[in-house]
Amino acid sequence: MSSNPLCQLISPKSIALVGAGNNPRKMGALHALSILKDGYQGSFYLVHRQEQMVLGCKAFKSVYDLPEAPELAMLVVPGDQVLQLLADFGEIGTRRAVIVTAGFRETGLEGSEKEEQLKEIAARYGIRFLGPNCIGFINSELALNVTVFPGTGKPGKLGMVSQSGTYITQTLSYLRNKGIHFSKAISVGNEADIDMVEALEYLGQDEQTKAIALYIEGISNGRRFIEVAQKITRYKPVLAQYVGGSGAGARAGMSHTGSMGGPDFLYEGLFRQAGVIQVFGIEDLYDHGWTLATQPRLRGNRVGVLTNSGGPGTAIAHVCEKGGLEVPSFSEKLQREIKQHIQGHASSANPVDLTFHLDAKLLTSVLPETIIQSGEVDGLILHGAMSHGFMREMYPRLSEMLGGISLEQFLALRKPDLTGTLSLSQRYGLPSLISSFFGREDNYTSAYRDHDIPVFDAPEKAARAMAALLRYKKIQERKSFVSPELPARVPLAVEILERAAGEGRQTLNEYESKQVLAAYGIAVTREKLAFSEDEAVAAAFSLGFPVVLKGCSAAIAHKTEKGLVHLRLVDEKEVRHAFQAISKAVGHSLPALVSEMVSSGRELLAGMARFPGFGPCIVFGLGGIFTEAIRDVTFRSAPLSEAEGEEMLSDILSAKILGEFRGMPPADTVALSAILTTLGFISLLHPEIAEIDINPLVISGSRPVAVDALIVLEQKSKSDRL
């Protein structure tokens, strides 16, 4: 871990900040106040050209006047001062920096050029830095907060990396109220030097951090992200919210594969491949992250639900089951034990519904312990724990009846012992989540949150968080990924691709495309290329009727729409008629591909396309003529291990059709997975290929066969061809 630049940057023994004055409305002053007031014990220096004292501290006129070379430099200055200041710190020996200043790549061409100069200066002096255009970081282990908002004041367990500074600063009071505390939180800004992947790698090795949350607008190196995340997610959960801010993958392709690859599809596949749990809102990112950081792991999928009201119990059970969890009916033995404590009309099954029972200890301690000790659940969700919050609401109506006692006296009437309920999860090693409509005004909610037990303000939210624990359980149970070895390039494929490139073509025709695929072992239809009616007829007799006749031209990517595909031809007459129809459709003579007729009710899609920041990506999904309308696909970054190929098959919504389906035998999933891994190999062996499209990939009996295929080549500029 010592090689990671964030080790020293996040835990500096000394800091110098340039840009803080005595105006509390300026960012520099706010950054400085956070360092001064939140408990940092290291040396802290302020640099200011005019002021002798800043925020009650001595200020130094120049970087060169500092008593030592600080381990960390913070720059919160106008953009025209950043380059020289970074060089000055480099001269005195500082090797880590946080550049808060904006006005670089995010502003356009001129800003991009300035950012390149910044990187050159940093490289010259061996400086590693966060930013520019970032808000800083939090290291609660050192009580070090270099952001503009006051810290949470308590060391936490949730690490965060964010491409938006807001989510590690403006949310701090919100998180404090929810009982959520960061271990380390890092704003990466423009990622000109230290990027999200290095920050993820650092948090993966940080012992204080028990779960990692990522706020992502775009990833510049998708393959590296996957490789780093796969190592971490085996032992530590990683969650991500992707907001689609990046243009990566937002491109039009000539094949189905290329046109399917919008950013959302790519990131969804990338996260699955990496073992990252994707969430779709910042609240879930925090809440699910905190749940995974603080709660014991699920050992199974059985959940007990205990409430003081039927509605929340039903809602929890419903959401749990939708999330793959089971809410089983309790055994007769357990129900008899529960009935000893509840009213006759209350439910002892699962969910257990006390029906407005005000004995909080029964709800929060006695019954939960009974249920957990039964061994019939792997997790518990409790709704309705309340005391002082309820009493505060009732006080105006009851105070007169109770002799006009004060609110404080009224609340003192009930001081429940919360020890039992607060220690349940840790004593039994079983996750326990709380749902309550009361906030910190209730002593149960505040006690739970102060003891790192997640409390959700709606029953469904607690259930979704429990489902996140199940998702991580499944990630930990995945097969190990063994990096595959690339095979050798096949001479026939090289010859075909070089010939097409030499002719200046952007696509291979279907016959050539299938030859390339077959050269690497992908099963394709038996077929022959015919240049005349007689050749087509001879080919049909050779292959055996029925046959398919398709116009074959590299210039025509999608043939069905142009009337160039004729199916189920059963005799010579139909073959001749089809050949003539193809020539008529295009207005000139065109070779025809005569192919065996492969019939099946299951048509799939497999392919490859390249996307900026991701490289070659493999796609698998539902195929046929409705591919782009239904868009039931999943992506992975190449190369793929055998296990990754297998996972793709179960990703799609239509995965059930790969099993026994409507009288059809199960598909050969080993062969299907092999096609996907092979496409990954082809994409890496032949970087000149931009896209591969196999659609349909038909399941013939059990065997997958490429019935149609298209290979698109990378376009070269005119200068490249000269």
Other beta carbons less than 10 A from residue 237's beta carbon: 26
Both tokens assigned to 646: 């297998």
- Rounded to whole angstroms, how far apart are CA atoms 254 and 690? 10
Classified by CATH at the fold level, domain 6-216 comes out as Rossmann fold (3.40.50)
- Say yes or no to pLDDT of 257 above 50: no
HEC string of 285-304?
HHHHHHHHHHCCCCCCCEEE
The pLDDT tens digits for 40-70 are 999 999 999 998 999 999 999 999 999 999 9
**Which DSSP letter does residue 524 get?**
B
Place of tokens 């099946």: 600
Res 652: pLDDT: 92
Of 376, 373, 369, the C-alpha closest to 332 is 376
Cβ(356)–Cβ(309) under 8 Å? Answer: yes
Round to whole Å and give the CA distance between 360 and 414.
10
Please report, to the nearest 10 degrees, the dihedral formed by the alpha carbons of residues 337, 338, 340, 342 taken in order.
Answer: 180
pLDDT at residue 249 in the model: 44
Range 296-476 has CATH code 3.40.50.261: yes
Name residue, tokens 């309340």. 386
Answer yes or no: is pLDDT of 556 > 80. Answer: no
pLDDT at 554: 85
- Which of 118, 121, 120, 123 is closest to 134 using CA atoms? 118
Q: Is residue 521 within 8 Å of residue 587, measured between CB atoms?
A: no
> In this predicted structure, which of 388-402, 645-659, 677-691 has the lowest mean pLDDT?
388-402
Domain covering 526-596 assigned CATH 3.30.1490.20 in the classification: yes
Strand order through the sheet with 303-307: 352-353, 303-307, 379-383, 432-435, 455-456
* pLDDT value of position 2: 65
Q: Which neighbouring-strand residues pair with 18?
A: 47, 75
**CB-CB contact of 385 with 436 (8 Å):** yes
Q: Residue 650: which of 531, 457, 474, 409 has the closest Cα?
A: 474
User: Are 425 and 295 in contact, with CB atoms under 8 Å apart?
Assistant: yes
User: Are domains 6-216 and 526-596 of this chain identical in fold?
Assistant: no
Could you tell me what percent of the chain has a pLDDT over 70? 95
| pLDDT value at residue 419 | 86
To the nearest whole number, what is the mean pLDDT of the chain? 92
pLDDT in tens, 81-134: 999 999 999 999 999 999 999 999 888 899 999 999 999 999 999 999 999 999
The 10s digit of each residue's pLDDT in 209-240 is 999 999 998 888 999 999 999 999 999 999 99
DSSP 679-717: HHHHHHH-TTEEEEEEEEEEEETTEEEE-SEEEEEPP--
Q: How far is residue 402 from each of residues 358, 360, 396, 410, 411, measured CA to CA in Å? A: 19, 22, 11, 9, 12
Chain-centre distance of CA 537, in angstroms? 54
Cβ-Cβ contacts under 8 Å for 71 (sequence gap 6 or more): 8, 12, 13, 14, 15, 94, 95, 96
- Quote the pLDDT of residue 189: 94
- What H or E segment, with its residue span, contains residue 605? strand 603-611
Distance CA 556, CA 453 (A): 61
Rounded Cα distance, 646 and 473, in Å:
18
Measuring CA to CA, which residue among 457, 450, 443, 448 is closest to residue 424? 448
**Cα–Cα distance for residue pair 615/603, rounded to 1 Å:** 27
Instruction: Enter the pTM of the model.
Output: 0.92
The number of angstroms, rounded, from the C-alpha of 207 to the middle of its chain's C-alpha atoms is: 22
Would you list the domain boundaries of the chain?
A: 6-216, 296-476, 526-596
Give backbone dihedrals phi and psi of 705, rounded to 5 degrees, phi first. -135, 130
- Provide mean pLDDT across the span 410-426: 87
* pLDDT (tens digit per residue) in 424-473: 999 999 999 999 999 999 999 999 999 999 999 999 999 999 999 999 99
